């Protein structure tokens, strides 16, 4: 046995292990500025303005503040630059701690910046090793990202946490950064984000509203969905948490408004494609199950005929709304937000090879037929009332 050779091998192994240990790249907590949310806007002179909402250690918890005085739990800073990196560099010069994006839960695009195009931001996100790809992307509606991040939110000490919770609860449309980047960079599908605005500004109890969805074509914002259109889009995408629909079932009466409301329990969407004479034809099928949560009519839904009539009414309303969404996406937005191109790629890959480069021009011309069906599985408790006429 060659003892010197064995000793040399062991020494080499220990030296390599020694090189792998240690904290040469450590970052102490008190040396970092933790960004909870960031926003990007376009200025009037064409520059990029980056806003950061940074958690202050003196504000967590605020009860520990000296003298019993309330300490603002966040610091909001903004800086302008020729691009995002330039603006971040200027922000760093204002901070005694190094900017850390590892805790960022929300990225907000100002409306003007989003309409101008977000290529620079995508490049920064893809290159930055600190970016959290499970954070949410939202678009400001009628305002700037800077104004959103400078607003207060009474239910959370850190406003960014409020926005993050609103998105994670899925009561409106939400999308995370990894999915957003994947969608924007794909020719098969156009991106949609939640849209945020500030409500109750003048009442002193301002709050955030996420009651719209922002539609992108390639890398630019082209419009918004709201109201029943947003609900139908969420339903088509399976984002049905807490969703409620209401229809008029009969004319209003003295004691009854004639409306019935349901809560959507689950939904499924199927897209079927076929090629005829060199052109694709699409069949979009949306099905959902629901339960009745309000019956302000004289109708007895214990009777099968009445229940079927309600299902048909809700299905018809969904049909109208889905028709509106398809029309908007093809004629106004010219954005494939329903994923028709993706299904076409899956079902007809050879056709997609020739169609994908011209899909933006081809999609508005594709005929789409719709099938909608809402089934009511639960009617709830129906109280007998001698003054109610049971149909």
**Domain regions of the chain by residue span:** 28-227, 240-391
Torsion, Cα 206 64 105 220, to 10 degrees, reads: 40
Please name the residues in contact with 101: beta carbons below 8 A apart, sequence gap of 6 or more.
Answer: 35, 38, 128, 130, 131, 132
User: CA-CA distance, 81 to 84, in Å (whole number)?
Assistant: 7
Q: Which tens digits make up the pLDDT trace of 24-79?
A: 455 566 789 999 999 999 999 989 999 999 998 764 444 444 444 456 789 999 99
Flag whether pLDDT at 252 surpasses 50.
Answer: yes
Using DSSP's 3-state secondary structure scheme, residue 133 falls into coil
The CATH number of the domain covering residues in 240-391: 3.30.300.210
Q: Which of 21-30, 95-104, 145-154 has the lowest mean pLDDT?
A: 21-30
pLDDT class of 1 with cuts at 50, 70, 90: low
- Rounded mean pLDDT, 90-117: 93
pLDDT of residue 21: 55
- Residue 388: pLDDT band with limits 50, 70, 90: very low
């Amino acid at each position: 046995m060659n003892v010197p050779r064995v000793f040399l091998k062991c020494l080499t192994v220990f030296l390599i292990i020694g090189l792998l240990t240690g904290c040469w790249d450590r970052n102490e907590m008190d040396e970092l500025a933790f960004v909870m949310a960031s926003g990007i806007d376009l200025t009037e002179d064409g520059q990029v303005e980056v806003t950061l909402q940074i958690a202050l250690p003196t504000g967590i918890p605020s009860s520990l503040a000296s003298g019993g005085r309330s300490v603002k739990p966040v610091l909001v800073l903004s800086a302008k630059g020729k691009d995002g990196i330039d603006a971040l560099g200027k922000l760093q010069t204002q901070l005694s701690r190094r900017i850390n994006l590892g805790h960022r839960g929300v990225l907000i695009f100002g409306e003007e910046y989003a309409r101008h195009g977000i290529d620079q931001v995508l490049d920064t996100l893809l290159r930055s090793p600190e970016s959290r790809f499970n954070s949410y992307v939202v678009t400001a509606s009628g305002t700037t990202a800077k104004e959103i991040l400078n607003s207060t939110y009474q239910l959370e000490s850190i406003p960014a946490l409020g926005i993050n919770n609103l998105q994670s609860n899925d009561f409106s449309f939400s999308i995370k950064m990894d999915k957003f980047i994947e969608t924007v960079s794909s020719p098969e599908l156009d991106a949609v984000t939640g849209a945020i605005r500030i409500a109750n500004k003048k009442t002193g109890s301002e709050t955030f509203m996420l009651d719209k969805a922002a539609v992108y074509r390639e890398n630019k914002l082209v419009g918004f969905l709201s109201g029943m259109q947003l609900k139908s889009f969420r339903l088509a995408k399976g984002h049905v948490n807490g969703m409620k629909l209401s229809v008029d079932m009969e004319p209003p009466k003295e004691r009854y408004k004639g409306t019935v409301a349901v809560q959507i329990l689950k939904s499924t969407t199927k897209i079927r494609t076929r090629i005829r004479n060199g052109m694709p034809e699409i069949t979009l099928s949306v099905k959902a199950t629901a339960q009745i949560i309000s019956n302000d009519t004289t109708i007895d839904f214990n009777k099968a005929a009445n229940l079927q009539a309600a299902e048909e009414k809700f299905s018809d309303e969904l049909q109208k709304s889905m028709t509106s969404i398809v029309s908007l996406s093809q004629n106004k937005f010219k954005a494939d937000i329903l994923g028709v191109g993706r299904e076409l790629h899956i079902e007809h890959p050879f056709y997609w090879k020739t169609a994908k480069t011209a899909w933006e021009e081809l999609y508005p011309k594709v005929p789409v037929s719709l099938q909608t069906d809402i089934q009511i599985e639960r009617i709830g408790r129906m109280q007998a009332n001698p003054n109610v006429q049971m149909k």
